[in-house]
């Protein structure tokens, strides 16, 4: 007996290829079996079945039983899932270690030099574009915050302040520790009071309401060191995959186009 196609498809999420999924589902239906029996049940070529079972054993989905002929014992699904989790954790940690090692290598220094040399020959208007998808926008924002050397200016919405704390609080704390001046403008209400109290410990935060300005902006933008900026182009109710922001690494766009707007709103907003 082999599992349904839906179950086989689900097993792919655990990192099992097509042959591994078929062999494992057949093996757990029998408990103990030989490679030949599993090959007949699944249609997997016998010459491949041995390699597949070896792989399943390495991944924690099967146990090899020394016997003649060689037999294989299925690992219960719950236990196999935990084994898969541990293996994935180890693989992720190894990749993270490699990335950390690369970050300190001569190769990354050379790549940075090449990037800096290339940027000097690029017109500011070319370092401009659209960032699509909320996840990608958050990543871009995180990169900007990490690169800040002197100042971060943020205008956000009521819900945007909650998003800021949820996605970037640790980076803002690191920036504040590094001496970066952080200023945030947002409507402060009961729904984001907790977020306000957190950012208020590391940034200058001002409240903007209809008492201060006739029409409170519903958008979000961020400016870093007057050199880089993002500006939201979509409403908060937009589906996360369709969320879009304008990004520019241009001193003109950051300091002369959007920067003055921030200062006007800063002067009209007030401390709580």
pLDDT one-digit tens code per residue, 124-168: 554 578 888 988 999 999 999 999 999 999 999 989 999 999 999
pLDDT value of residue 211? 75
pTM recorded for the entire structure? 0.59
- Encode pLDDT of 97-125 as tens digits: 888 888 788 877 777 676 666 555 545 55
Reported as a pLDDT band with limits 50, 70 and 90, residue 256 is: confident
- Encode pLDDT of 171-188 as tens digits: 999 999 999 999 999 999
- Helix H, strand E, coil C: the string for the chain is CCCCHHHHHHHHCCCCCHHHHHHHHHHHHHCEEEHHHHHHHHCCCHHHHHHHHHHHHHCCCEEEECCCCCEEEECCHHHHHHHHHHHHHHHHHHHHHHHHHHHCCHHHHHHHHHHHHHHHCCCHHHCEEEEECHHHHHHHHHHHHHHCCCEEEEECCHHHHHHHHHHHHHHHHHHHHCCCEEEEEECCCHHHHHHHHHHCCCCEEEECCCCCCCCCCCCCEEEECCCEEEEECCCCCCCCCCCEEEEECCHHHHHHHHHHHHHHHHHHCECC
pLDDT value of residue 197? 93
Taking residues 66-91, report their average pLDDT: 87
Reported as a pLDDT band with limits 50, 70 and 90, residue 95 is: confident
Which sequence spans correspond to the domains of the chain? 5-92, 126-268
- Encode pLDDT of 215-239 as tens digits: 667 789 999 999 899 988 888 888 8
* CATH pick for 126-268 out of 3.30.70.260, 2.30.130.10, 1.10.10.60, 3.30.870.10: 3.30.870.10
Provide the CATH number for the domain formed by 5-92 in this structure.
Answer: 1.10.10.10
pLDDT value of residue 120? 55
């Amino acid at each position: 007996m082999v599992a349904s196609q839906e179950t086989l498809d689900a097993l792919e999420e655990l990192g099992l290829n097509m042959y591994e999924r078929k062999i494992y589902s057949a093996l757990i239906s029998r408990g103990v079996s030989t490679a030949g029996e599993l090959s007949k049940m699944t249609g997997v070529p016998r010459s491949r079945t041995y390699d597949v079972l070896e792989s399943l054993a390495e991944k924690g989905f099967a146990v090899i039983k020394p016997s003649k002929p060689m037999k294989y014992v299925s690992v219960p699904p719950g236990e196999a899932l935990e084994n898969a989790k541990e293996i994935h954790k180890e693989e992720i940690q190894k990749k993270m270690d490699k990335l950390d090692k690369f970050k300190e290598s001569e190769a990354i220094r050379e790549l940075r030099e090449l990037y800096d040399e290339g940027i000097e020959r690029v017109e500011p208007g070319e370092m401009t574009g659209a960032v699509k998808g909320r996840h990608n926008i958050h990543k871009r924002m995180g990169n900007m915050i990490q690169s800040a050397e002197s100042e971060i200016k943020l205008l956000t919405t009521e819900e945007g302040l909650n998003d800021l704390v949820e996605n970037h609080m640790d980076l803002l704390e690191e920036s504040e520790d590094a001496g970066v001046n952080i200023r945030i403008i947002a409507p402060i209400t009961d729904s984001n009071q907790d977020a306000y109290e957190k950012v208020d410990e590391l940034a200058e935060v001002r409240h903007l309401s209809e008492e201060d300005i006739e029409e409170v902006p519903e958008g979000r933008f961020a400016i870093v060191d007057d050199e880089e900026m993002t500006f939201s182009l979509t409403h908060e109710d937009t589906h996360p995959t369709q969320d879009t922001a304008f990004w520019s690494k241009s001193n003109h766009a950051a300091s002369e186009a959007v920067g003055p707007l921030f200062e006007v709103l800063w002067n009209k907003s007030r401390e709580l």
